[in-house]
Structure 1
Amino acid sequence: MAGDNSAQVADDALRARKLTRAGLVRVELIPPPASASPFVTTFFRVQCDETEIRDVQPSSIGLVAVMARGSGHMHFLDGRVEASHPLMVLTPTSAATTFEVAGPWDAFGAMLSPAGWAALTGLSATVHGNRMMAAADVLPPRLVAACERLREEFGSLENHQMADLLCEALMPSLRRLPPGHAELIGTVAEWLAQSLSPELAELFARCRYGERQVQRLVERYFGLAPRTLARKYRALRAAVLLSRPGVTADDIAAVQDHFYDQPHMIREMRLFAGRTPARIADPDTPYLSAFLDLRDFSEGGSRMAPIPDDLRA
């Protein structure tokens, strides 16, 4: 993982600062058509009329965003601060990140799957992870042109029209992944889905590649080594489970059993989700709450790491 203890302390201090209040940030999620769902988790619209906006983005595969209004910067775990771009790509992140926007803020974009990131950029999620990059430096020209048009016509388009515009350019822009690599991405998703704490040996047993090649390919497409990837999805799914209304004592105990102890669970959630268990359902984290709603991990198909039926598996 990038960063050292001093960077973690500084990041925790930043996250402890007051975040934008609930209700001030409006997030709408627009599901992609079935043809795009293997590559796009969701389209989204984010709006806020405040002049100073601060929130947390949990660790993610990456996203494309058109910033129609507002500009900002993101704080990464290793202490780097990078500025936004009017047309930008947030590359896969290995930990939760804090962002600040000078508003008013109005943005539209697409959250990508591992296959979507790879097929659109052709870049390694490890080598190019934890960055905010200009879209023209990363995306195919046809998709960049669609983003430019979207920004020019932003005020006259409905959300579904913006999603359609991006989708029309996105689908022909996709690079074909090697069949074995596409199969591995699916295998990793199945492996993560079997348990909150899947065994690494089980992944290697499922793959046609040797252990060293599996390690390399998982890092390329997911931005993390398999063991750390399992930790990430354990923490994110635990955050979702603990934030659900009416979560039972049995479910809480089952989730806690996947961690060494409570301090370990708190550290992992803070690292990957950006919040401790006590603040996961905090109403003053609107963007984070919307992200976790999106990543409710309850659906199969192209969704990564759905929550298993047996939480003690």
Structure 2
Amino acid sequence: MTGVVPLQRLVAGEGRDLVDPAALTIAYQAPPPPLAPYVGRFFLMCGQAPERVDMLPAGPGVLALFLQGAGTLRLTGGVADASHCASLVTPLRTAARIELAGPWQVFGTLLSPLGWAALTGGRSAADLGNRLRDAGELLGSGVRRLAIELAQGHAVQPFALAELVARAAPVLAARLHALPEPHVRLVAEVEAWLGRAPSPSLDDLYRDACYSPRQLQRLVDRYFGLPPKQLARRQRALRAAALLADPRTAPQQVASMADHFYDQSHLIREVRLVTGRTPARLAERSLPLLDAMLGLYAPPSDA
């Protein structure tokens, strides 16, 4: 098996499409090319149950516009954040429990590290991570107005995903802030580093980067929400969780992936940290939202 899926490819949505009509349906659409460096595939998720408790995996920020329904994100330490019409799940270091009141329909996308910085005006992903925030506060009033207009219109005549994307793309494009070119290059270097091996060497990153180790730690923390060592650890665990949750994963893929952990206990702890579930419980496929989000983290079929 080749290396982990780089975050840029992860955010671009390479992986399996999951549709479970009994619990959740999900549709995807690629972003327009000018937005591709900043956001992943747009998605429209719909659930019919009046109540659902599920998990969101650790990972990049998620823009979620509630067209119908509402939710509450419960994080470690007893923090509970209620959803907004325009919600932004900031980059999560660990998995978080989400409680949804339905029927619910959510339109949104994942934010790449560049997207997080360009849309928030350079705010620190580390300082603002692990929360559910009002997207209007961090991404501007245009995003809040968009969410309200889409929810109102959707209640009268439901929008197709293509129309939602057509309405959202220009609003997001207008919000993009210019980023320092050296920072853009650094993000690309970190992406490449993450893609070289399941457990990439920090020495390799420090050797190739144009920054001192201290500067590099600070900038990676700012753009990705974690310093390099923890970022690689999260990426490895998410890759493992995506493979374990996918029934199409071959036994040899599981064995190859497990070789990158100290032992089975280590694998279980790391997967639980990023998904809130052990590998055995992931295989039960009882959390459709978690399954759907992990589908965005799955490796390509030829990996």
TM-score normalised by structure 1 residue count = 0.85
Distance in 1, matches of 2:252 and 2:160, equals 44
| Identity rate, percent | 38
Q: Post-superposition shift, 1:51?
A: 1.2
Structure 2 SS opposite 1:201: helix
Structure 2 unaligned blocks of 5 or more: 1-19
Distance in 1, matches of 2:31 and 2:140, equals 19
Tell whether the 8 Å contact from 1:27 to 1:47 is kept in structure 2 after alignment: yes
Backbone CA RMSD of aligned residues: 1.8
Single out whichever of 246-255 and 151-160 deviates more from structure 2.
246-255
Q: Equivalences for 1:213-232 in 2 at 5 Å?
A: 213-232=215-234
Distance in 2, matches of 1:141 and 1:158, equals 24
How many residue pairs end up in the alignment?
A: 281
Match of 2:116 in 1: 117
For residue 97 of structure 1, what is the amino acid of its counterpart?
A: A
Are residue 149 (structure 1) and residue 149 (structure 2) matched? yes
Q: Equivalences for 1:199-214 in 2 at 5 Å?
A: 199-214=201-216
Tell whether the 8 Å contact from 1:28 to 1:44 is kept in structure 2 after alignment: yes
Are residue 296 (structure 1) and residue 298 (structure 2) matched? yes
For residue 134 of structure 1, what is the amino acid of its counterpart?
A: D
Match of 2:137 in 1: 137
For residue 56 of structure 1, what is the amino acid of its counterpart?
A: M
Distance in 2, matches of 1:43 and 1:206, equals 33
Distance in 1, matches of 2:43 and 2:246, equals 22
Q: Equivalences for 1:70-89 in 2 at 5 Å?
A: 70-89=69-88
Match of 2:162 in 1: 160
Distance in 2, matches of 1:245 and 1:141, equals 42
Tell whether the 8 Å contact from 1:22 to 1:286 is kept in structure 2 after alignment: no
Q: Post-superposition shift, 1:262?
A: 0.5
Tell whether the 8 Å contact from 2:136 to 2:142 is kept in structure 1 after alignment: no
Tell whether the 8 Å contact from 2:57 to 2:274 is kept in structure 1 after alignment: yes
Q: Post-superposition shift, 1:194?
A: 0.6
Are residue 33 (structure 1) and residue 32 (structure 2) matched? yes
Distance in 1, matches of 2:264 and 2:115, equals 35
Q: Equivalences for 1:271-290 in 2 at 5 Å?
A: 271-290=273-292
Per-residue CA deviations over 1:249-291 (Å, capped at 9, x if unaligned) read 4332221111111011001001013322112233322111111
Structure 1 SS opposite 2:254: helix
Structure with more relative contact order (C-alpha pairs < 8 Å, separation 6 or more): 2
For residue 167 of structure 1, what is the amino acid of its counterpart?
A: A
After TM superposition, the runs of 4+ consecutive aligned structure 1 residues lying more than 6 A away are none
Structure 1 SS opposite 2:200: coil
Match of 2:12 in 1: none
Distance in 1, matches of 2:72 and 2:196, equals 37
Distance in 1, matches of 2:274 and 2:58, equals 5
Q: Post-superposition shift, 1:246?
A: 4.8
TM-score normalised by structure 2 residue count = 0.87
Structure 2 SS opposite 1:78: helix
Per-residue CA deviations over 1:178-225 (Å, capped at 9, x if unaligned) read 111111111111000011100111111121000000000011011111
Distance in 1, matches of 2:250 and 2:295, equals 19
Match of 1:179 in 2: 181
Tell whether the 8 Å contact from 1:235 to 1:269 is kept in structure 2 after alignment: yes
Q: Post-superposition shift, 1:29?
A: 2.0
Alignment CA distance shift 1:69-1:244 (3 Å): closer
Distance in 1, matches of 2:66 and 2:242, equals 28
Q: Normalized per residue, which structure has more helix?
A: 2
For residue 184 of structure 1, what is the amino acid of its counterpart?
A: L
Tell whether the 8 Å contact from 1:281 to 1:289 is kept in structure 2 after alignment: no
Tell whether the 8 Å contact from 2:81 to 2:131 is kept in structure 1 after alignment: yes
Single out whichever of 167-176 and 61-70 deviates more from structure 2.
61-70
Alignment CA distance shift 1:237-1:181 (3 Å): same
Tell whether the 8 Å contact from 1:45 to 1:159 is kept in structure 2 after alignment: yes
Alignment partner of 2:262 out of 260, 263, 269: 260
Tell whether the 8 Å contact from 2:60 to 2:112 is kept in structure 1 after alignment: yes
